Structure 1
Amino acid sequence: MRMAAKAERASAIEIVVVILPESSIMSLASVLDPMRAANRVAGRQVFRWRLLSGDGQAAMLTCGLPVAVDGRFSPPLAGDVLLVIGGFNLERHTGKRFFATLQECARHFDVVAGIESGCWLLGRSGLLNGRRATAHWEELEDFGQAFPALTVIGDRFVTDGKYWTSGGASPTFDMMLHLITERLGPALALDVASIFVYDQMHSPTDVQPFVSLGRIEVRDPELAGAIRLMERTLERPMTVAALARRLAISQRKLEQVFARGLSTSPGAYYLRLRLQVAHRLVRDSGIPMRDIALRCGFDSLSAFSRAYRREYGESPLKMRSANRAASLAAG
C-alpha cells in the first residue's frame, strides 16, 4: 500500500505540447517555463512534456526562432494534458489530417487546451461545441461569429470540463498556474509565481484588458479607471467632458491626471488607443476596413483612413497589402 502511494506521488504529469509555425515565443514560454519551474521547486520531475509539430519539423515562431520538436503530432497519443499553441495563418499549417488527429487524440487526455489561436483549432474540430470558451480580445467577436455553438466570453482563460482556452501569453501563464494549483496544490503554484516575480495570480474569470496597466491601478486609480472606461467605449467614443462626468471628476482634473501619468491629453490617448486596436486588426485580420473603422469609433471610412495615415504614415489598405506581401515572402 505504501509503495503504491509512493509511486503515485512520484509519477509525473504527462504533457503533450503541439506548436504551430507563426506562434508566439511568449505563449510557448508561458507553457513551458511554469512546468520547468515546478520541477525545480518540487525537487523532482512533477511534469514531463513532449513538444510536437504538425509535420515533425522545427516550428518557426513569429520572432524568427525555429523551435526543435520531439516528433510529429499523430496518433496514438495519450497523457494528462494536451496543449495546442496556434498563431497566425492557421490555414497554412493545418488541414484535414491535423483536425482528424486532434479529434482522435483529444479523447485520450484529461485536459485539452487551446492557447492563443489554438482556441480556433479546437473550435474548428468541433471539440468546443456547446461549451464556454475564450480567445484573444482582438478576436473575440470574430471567434463568436465563427462558432455560434459556443458561448464566447472575454475572460483571461476559460475552463469548461476538460476543454480549456486562454486569451494570450499572460493568461496562459495564469492557466498553467491554475493547472499547477489543481494538480499539485496552491503552495507550489505560489512558489512558481514567485520565481518569475509574478505579483498577481489571476483567476479564470478575470476579464482580458486591452491595456496592461500593471502598477498604475494601485498608484493612480483615477487614471486606470479612465483608461478602462475608454476601453469599454471604443465603438462609441465619448467626449472628454462626458468621460469626466462618468468618472465623477472635473474635466480639468481628468486632463491633469493624464498629463501627470502619461504626459498626454485624455483626447490624444483615447484616439491613440482606438488606432492601436485598428492597427492590429488591419495587420492581423481580414476584416473589411469599413467594419474596422466602425469597431474603433470612426463614423466614416475616410475619417478613419486620415487618422490612421497620420499615426502610421500610410493608409490602412497600403499597410495591409505590405503586411500580406511580407508574410508571403517569409512563408
Structure 2
Amino acid sequence: MQTQRKPTEPSKAVGQPKRYVFVLLNKFSMLSFASAVECLRIANRMAGREVYCWTLLGEAGENVTCSAGTTFAVDSELGDLQRDDTILVCAGVEVQSATTKKLLAWLRREARKGLTVGGLCTASYTLAKAGLLDGKRATIHWENIDSFAEEFEDVTLTKSVFVVDNNRLSTAGGTSSIDLMLKLIANDHGEDLANSVADQLIYSSIRTDQDTQRLSIPTRIGVRHPKLSMVIQMMEANIEEPISPSILAQDVGMSTRQLERLFRRYLNRSPKRYYMELRLQKARNLLMQTDMSVINVALACGFASPSHFSKCYRAHYDTTPYRERGSKSGTS
C-alpha cells in the first residue's frame, strides 16, 4: 500500500469549516460539479478534520437533472446565506433557459452581502447576466466564448482554464474545476494540502490561471508546421474582417501558391475553404447560443450580405440559418 504524504498543518486556526453552496441548474455538467466537490471531500480527509462543508441548492428545492441524465437531490431551495459562504453556480448545456429571473434576483441579492460567487463551466453566463462580472475578468467553456463576447461587452473574457478576480470565480468547464479548487485550497491551507489532494486525484499536472483551456493549434489539427499554425491563428483572430489568402501568405513569408500547397498537403482543403469553415462554425455557435439576428450574425462572421451568408451556410450545414435558429427554439 502506498504511504500517504502528510500535509503540513493548515495555516488557519482551527475553526468552523468553510462552506460552499453549490447551485445546480438544469442540465448542469456533472463532471465540473463532481470535480469541485471531490476536491473538498479529499481536503477534509487529508487535513484530518472538516475544513470544508457544502450544501446543494436548486431553484425550487426540487431534484435537478444533469446533462448526463442523472438526477440529484438538493438540500433546499434558494434562500438566505451566511456572509462567509461561497456560491458556486453549476451549469452546462442550455444555460440560457436555465438562467431564470428568480435565480438572477437571488444572485444579485446574495452578492450585495459581499459573498464570493463563482460559475462552473457555462455558469459564467449566469453570473454575467446578473451583472456580477461587469468590469471583471472571467472565462467560460471555449464553445461559448463567441456568444459570450458578443453579449457581455463589459466583461473581460479570457481563454484561461479558470479565473479568480477578487470575489468572482469562473472556470472553463470539465476538469478545470479541479484546478480552481486546488488554488482555493492552497490559499486557505497551504500548497502541501492542495498537492496532497492532487495526488489523491492522480492529478499530476496542476494548471494555473495562466494556462489556456484549448489545445494548441498544432495539437488540435495534428500538424506541427509553424507557418501553417501562424496562418490558422491569424484566421481565428480575424473572423469578422477576414484576411485574404495572399496577405496571410505574405505575413508568414511565403507565396500564395505555397500557402495553397501547405493547406492541401496537411488539411486537404484550400485556405479559403478552411477559413470559411471557421467563420461558419462561429456563426452556428452564435445562432444556437444567442438571440442575435441572422443579419448581425452574418456581419459578425465576415459576410457582407445575408443572402451570401445563407447560401454558404446551407452549402455547409444543409440547412438555412433561419431554420437553424428555429430548431434551437424548438428544443429549448
Indicate conservation of the 8 Å contact 2:263/2:271, yes or no: yes
- Flag the 1:177–1:305 CA change in 2: closer, same or farther, 3 A: farther
Give the match for residue 59 of structure 1.
Answer: 64
For residues 256-284 of structure 1, the C-alpha deviation after alignment (integer angstroms, 9 at most, x for no partner) is 55455444443322221211111111122
1:241–1:214 distance in 2 versus 1, CA, 3 Å: closer
1:113: Cα distance to partner?
A: 1.0
State the one-letter code of the partner of 1:238: I
Aligned to 1:71: 76
Q: For each residue in 1:116-170, what CA deviation from the matched residue of structure 2 results, as whole angstroms up to 9, or x when unmatched? A: 443343344444455444554123333434xxxx442334243222122334446
Q: Distance in 1 between matches of 2:133 and 2:256?
A: 46
Q: Work out which of the residue numbers 207, 217, 224 in structure 2 matches 1:201.
A: 207
Q: Do 1:52 and 1:69's aligned partners in 2 also have CA atoms closer than 8 Å? A: yes
More displaced 10-residue stretch of structure 1: 270-279 or 158-167: 158-167
Match of 2:29 in 1: 24
Sequence identity percentage:
32
Query: In structure 2, how many angstroms separate the alpha carbons of the residues matched to 1:197 and 1:262?
Result: 34
Query: Among residues 306, 318, 324, which one is paired with 1:301 in the alignment?
Result: 306
| Pair 1:190–1:302, CA change in 2 (3 A) | farther
Q: Report the CA distance shift for 1:127/1:280 in structure 2 as closer, same or farther (over 3 A).
A: closer
| Distance across 1 between alignment mates of 2:234 and 2:171 | 24
Shift of 1:242: 2.0
Please say if 1:94 is aligned against 2:94: no
Residue aligning to 1:140: 148
Q: Paired residue for 2:5?
A: none
Residue 114 of structure 1 aligns with an amino acid whose one-letter code is: G
- The answer to whether the aligner puts 1:154 opposite 2:138 as a matched pair is no
Contact 1:82/1:106 (CA < 8 Å) preserved in 2? Answer: no
1:317 Cα deviation from its structure 2 partner:
0.8
Cα offset, 1:293, TM superposition: 1.0
CA distance in 2, matches of 1:269, 1:298: 15
Name 2:117's counterpart in structure 1: 112
Q: 1:92 to 1:165 in 2, by over 3 A?
A: closer
Would you say the 8 A contact 1:137–1:208 is kept in 2? no
- Report how many residues are paired: 317
Answer 1 or 2: higher relative contact order, Cα 8 Å, separation at least 6: 2
| Aligned partners of 2:99 and 2:126 also within 8 Å | no
**CA distance in structure 2 between the aligned counterparts of 1:91 and 1:317, rounded to whole angstroms:** 20
Q: Residues 95 and 123 of structure 2 are in contact (CA less than 8 Å); yes or no, is this contact kept in structure 1?
A: no
Letter in 1 for 2:241: R
- The 1:50/1:307 distance shift into structure 2, 3 A limit, reads same
Are the structure 2 counterparts of residues 29 and 230 from structure 1 closer, same or farther at C-alpha, using a change threshold of 3 Å? farther
2:41 and 2:225 map into 1 onto residues whose CA distance is 36
Aligned to 2:119, the other structure's residue is in SS state strand
Change (3 A) 1:134 1:262: same
**d(CA) in 2 for partners of 1:191, 1:305:** 54
Aligned position for 1:49: 54
1:230 — aligned with what? 235
Q: Do 1:216 and 1:224's aligned partners in 2 also have CA atoms closer than 8 Å?
A: no
Aligned with 1:319 (options 312, 317, 324): 324
CA distance in 1, matches of 2:46, 2:187: 16
Q: Following superposition of structure 1 onto structure 2, how do residues 176-187 of structure 1 map, counting pairs within 5 Å?
A: 176-187=181-192
Post-superposition offset of 1:58: 1.9
Shift in Å at residue 106 of structure 1?
3.6
Unaligned runs of 5+ in 2: 1-8
Match status 1:240 vs 2:240: no
Secondary structure of the 2:62 match is coil
The gaps in structure 1 that reach 5 residues or longer are none
- Normalising by structure 1, report the TM-score: 0.77
Superposed CA RMSD: 3.7
* Structure 2 Cα separation of the partners of residues 32 and 306 of structure 1: 47
If the length of structure 2 is used for normalisation, what is the TM-score?
0.77
Counterpart Cα distance in 2 of 1:224 and 1:36: 42
Mapped to 2, the partners of 1:165 and 1:213 lie a distance apart of 24
In structure 2, C-alpha distance between the alignment counterparts of 1:124 and 1:100, rounded to whole Å: 10
Q: Is the 8 A contact 1:84 1:115 kept in 2?
A: yes
Q: CA deviation at 1:56?
A: 1.3
- 2:6 is aligned to none
